[in-house]
Amino acid sequence: MNPSLANFILSKTPKSILHPAPTMNTAIPLNTGATIPALGLGTWQSAPGEVKKAVVHAIEAGYRHIDCAFCYQNEDEVGEALQDVISRGIVKREDLFITSKLWCTFHTRVEEGLQKSLDLLKTPYVDLYLMHWPVPMNPKGNHPLFPKLEDGSRDIDHSTTHVQTWKNLEKLIQTHPERVKAIGVANYSVKYLEKLLAQATIVPAANQIENHPLLPQQEVVDFCKAKGIHITAYSPLGSTGSPLFKDEAVNEVAKKHNVGPGTVLLSYHLARNSSVLAKSVTPARIDENRKLIVLDAEDMQKLESIHKNGITRFVYPPFGVNCGFPDKPDGIDLSG
Ligand SMILES: NC(=O)C1=CN([C@@H]2O[C@H](COP(=O)(O)OP(=O)(O)OC[C@H]3O[C@@H](n4cnc5c(N)ncnc54)[C@H](OP(=O)(O)O)[C@@H]3O)[C@@H](O)[C@H]2O)C=CC1
Ligand SMILES: O=C[C@H](O)[C@@H](O)[C@@H](O)[C@H](O)C(=O)O
């Protein structure tokens, strides 16, 4: 074809045909060769009695990615939901992407931690197993999940390190590839990632971090991109009560595209080539959150301007640990 004719046709072709618009199940590549669906249903703080219905509803509505964790204490019900939709033929296990996370009191017992989640979730394998925080806690303390010292502070296990935990996870995937398809981390700053990568033989497939226009964490996102580590964004709506729905700039972008603020907050991550987790136990919201759009450079510029007046981190548990994030300098350094 005449090159100028080809250019003419290209110039008249809508951008969405050249670059298909992302959907909730757009497959984003991981460094393992597998892919992760762009949108996942979050399950943190989804109460027992509600979470089964939420997961069943989500999967029936087309979600294929469910984010779970042992410490959410609801994996048993999530497992009931998975069993339900699989037994009714709504979906096959291999069409789902299930993430679970190793809790802090299990850093020295990774196989036990994984098996507990597999049993609760009633699944033979997880697609991604993450170290939930780079913070080992006492496995023999006064509580199985949140052990505390007499002064009320969290009981940190100083006899091991997050790097050793990673080595335990590397061994786990090598010895049990049928039970865990990929390993990754969560809540890792650049500082902790540098320490981990210096001794790792497997590069984490993903780093799940709090991420939204009020906490872009560009330094972590750029570092992970350079190392081939996929970013999954958590608390994209600002966590409990979705406070970011009220943000003025988010609402301006939403108005321009005639969509709700949630669509803008979730689509922001697709523009950054990250996957994103949205939690809801409300069927109408689970449906609404499926809508994603392509944001343009002007939209992204507006969203990127939000944090210029100060960032907000909504999730930071009282470990008393400095996890290496510049906005949280207090606490002990466990980077190793
Ligand atoms: N690795 C980690 O350490 C962490 C991982 N995560 C993961 O990320 C997921 C998402 O983050 P999370 O902190 O839960 O917060 P989100 O940013 O997903 O916000 C959840 C809140 O927004 C509400 N909501 C959801 N959709 C809508 C909507 N369309 N309109 C209005 N309100 C809405 C929910 O209410 P309701 O449910 O009542 O509808 C809930 O109160 C978690 O559930 C978890 O799976 C989160 C934090 C830390
Ligand atoms: O995934 C969600 C969060 O990380 C959550 O697991 C922690 O904040 C936990 O409740 C804690 O208090 O340490």
Question: pLDDT tens, 74-92?
Answer: 999 999 999 999 999 999 9
Residues in the chain: 336
Which ligand 2 atom lies nearest to the CA of residue 319? Answer: 13
Predicted pLDDT at 203: 99
Which residue, among 103, 109, 67, has the nearest Cα to 206 in the 3D structure? Answer: 67
What are the pocket residues of ligand 1 if the criterion is a CB atom closer than 6 Å to any ligand atom?
42-44, 67, 132, 186-187, 208, 234-242, 245, 262, 277-282, 285, 288-289, 315
ipTM, two decimals, is 0.99
Question: pLDDT tens, 225-254?
Answer: 999 999 999 999 999 999 999 999 999 999
CB 299 within 8 A of CB 65: no
**Is the pLDDT assigned to residue 19 strictly greater than 90?**
no
320 token code pair = 């008393």
What are the pocket residues of ligand 2 if the criterion is a CB atom closer than 6 Å to any ligand atom?
44, 69, 71, 315, 317
Atom 13 of ligand 2: nearest residue by CA position = 317
Residue 3 resides in a domain: no
Predicted pLDDT at 22: 80
Task: Write the Ramachandran bin of 187: left for phi over 0, alpha for psi from -120 to 50, otherwise beta.
Answer: left
Cα–Cα distance between 75 and 81 in angstroms, integer? 10
Which of 63, 72, 234, 268 is labelled catalytic? 72
Mean pLDDT taken over the chain: 95
The response to whether 132 counts as a known ligand-binding position is yes
Atom 8 of ligand 2: nearest residue by CA position = 317
This prediction's pTM: 0.95
Predicted pLDDT at 210: 98
Predicted pLDDT at 79: 98
Residue 276 resides in a domain: yes
CB 258 within 8 A of CB 293: no
Question: pLDDT tens, 256-294?
Answer: 999 999 999 999 999 999 999 999 999 999 999 999 999
Ligand positioned closest to the Cα atom of 41: 1
Q: List Cα–Cα distances, 92 to 23, 308, 328, in angstroms.
A: 20, 45, 42
Q: How many domains does the chain contain in total?
A: 1
308-335 mean pLDDT? 97
Residue 137 resides in a domain: yes
253 CA → ligand 1 middle, Å: 21
Predicted pLDDT at 206: 99
Predicted pLDDT at 110: 98
184 CA → ligand 1 middle, Å: 21
* E strand or H helix that includes residue 242: none
Pairing between β-strand 27-29 and β-strand 35-37 as defined by DSSP bridges:
antiparallel
Residue 21 resides in a domain: no
> What's the angle, vertex CA 310, arms to CA 309 and CA 313, rounded to 5?
150
Residue 15 resides in a domain: no
Residue 4 resides in a domain: no
118-132 mean pLDDT? 99
Predicted pLDDT at 21: 76
53-76 mean pLDDT? 98
Residue 13 resides in a domain: no
Predicted pLDDT at 16: 45
Q: List Cα–Cα distances, 181 to 33, 130, 199, 311, in angstroms.
A: 10, 11, 21, 35
Q: What CATH number has the domain bearing residue 180?
A: 3.20.20.100
The residues, ordered by sequence, that sit 6+ positions from 163 with a Cβ below 8 Å of its Cβ are 195, 196, 199, 200, 336
Residue 309: which domain range? 26-333
Pairing between β-strand 39-42 and β-strand 65-67 as defined by DSSP bridges:
parallel
Predicted pLDDT at 7: 58
Which ligand 2 atom lies nearest to the CA of residue 316? Answer: 8
* E strand or H helix that includes residue 101: strand 97-102
Residue 11 resides in a domain: no
- Is residue 72 flagged as an active site residue? yes
Which ligand 2 atom lies nearest to the CA of residue 72? Answer: 6
